[in-house]
């Protein structure tokens, strides 16, 4: 346990230093304003998630040199996949990254949630001791990222309000709901891909299950959050919850929605 923790802590430190260099090279160094610091906090979470996977998934303890080699291979690959996915994740939500870096806390909250979600998907697959496993990890991550984007896009069609427009206007309630959903979907997708790769068909079947679980959250949102918690009448679309978040900017309602998504995802994962 202590040895694994030492390897994990060392991997986290190296990844944090590499991330610092990467952010400096790309023109996004550390800043002392709330928005960028919130983005940095999310990156730290993602780095530690990946470091834990490297310490447990790339080591056998039999050969120190090989252990370090595969930790380096999967760590650098995971960091590269993380950076690439961050750029693609925001394509359906243009303007959020720039607004977040300029201090829009609603956009920073949403982008931080996407950062943590991608970190969850990276940490779920980037561990192994062969290039075959590395290829499977890259393919699994790509499919997982596409699944996350598709589910997020479908979700935006189901709400009465335009969450991107609301977040650009500084609506923190919309950002909390959006962020909770994004992380919850990542947990469900990661859960669907746990275990050893057993072929293309089982992998596709598991992603179909993840898609179904993600879509089931919507009716539960309309019933649990809107009816049970907010004590409003049931609706198939819109209703008091969308009005509270999209029109009134009710932070409490946004936090309730986001927390309910996370609770549902943890519930599903815990039952398996």
Phi, psi (5° rounding) for residue 131?
-70, -25
Least confident of 33-37, 117-121, 138-142, 221-225: 221-225
Identify the pLDDT of residue 82. Answer: 94
99-103 long-range Cβ contacts below 8 angstroms, 24+ apart: 99/167, 99/168, 100/35, 100/36, 100/38, 100/39, 101/28, 101/31, 101/35, 101/36, 101/39, 102/35, 103/33, 103/34, 103/35
Q: pLDDT tens, 123-164?
A: 999 988 899 999 989 988 988 888 888 888 877 777 888 888
Q: pLDDT tens, 64-75?
A: 888 899 999 999
- Separation between Cα atoms, residue 190 and residue 195, nearest integer Å: 10
């Amino acid at each position: 346990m202590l040895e694994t923790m030492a390897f994990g802590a060392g991997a986290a430190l190296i990844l944090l230093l590499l991330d610092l260099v990467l952010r400096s090279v790309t023109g996004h160094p550390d800043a002392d304003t709330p928005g960028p610091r919130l983005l940095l906090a999310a990156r730290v979470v993602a780095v530690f998630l990946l470091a834990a996977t490297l310490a447990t998934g790339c080591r056998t303890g039999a050969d120190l040199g090989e252990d370090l080699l595969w930790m380096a291979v999967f760590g650098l690959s995971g960091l590269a996949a993380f950076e690439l996915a961050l750029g693609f994740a925001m394509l359906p939500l243009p303007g959020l990254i720039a607004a977040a870096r300029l201090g829009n806390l609603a956009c920073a909250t949403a982008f931080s949630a996407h950062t943590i979600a991608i970190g969850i998907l990276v940490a779920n697959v980037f561990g192994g001791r062969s290039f075959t496993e590395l290829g499977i990890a890259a393919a699994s991550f790509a499919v997982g990222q596409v699944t996350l984007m598709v589910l997020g896009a479908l979700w935006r069609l189901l709400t009465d309000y335009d969450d991107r427009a609301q977040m650009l206007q500084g609506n923190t309630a919309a950002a909390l709901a959006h962020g909770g959903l994004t992380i919850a979907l990542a947990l469900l997708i990661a859960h669907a891909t746990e275990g050893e790769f057993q072929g293309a068909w089982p992998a596709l079947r598991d992603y179909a299950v993840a898609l179904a679980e993600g879509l089931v959250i919507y009716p539960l949102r309309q019933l649990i959050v809107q009816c049970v918690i907010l004590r409003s009448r049931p609706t198939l679309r819109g209703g008091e919850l969308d009005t509270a978040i999209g029109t009134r900017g009710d932070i409490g309602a946004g936090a309730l929605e986001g927390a309910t998504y996370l609770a549902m995802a943890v519930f599903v994962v815990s039952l398996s």
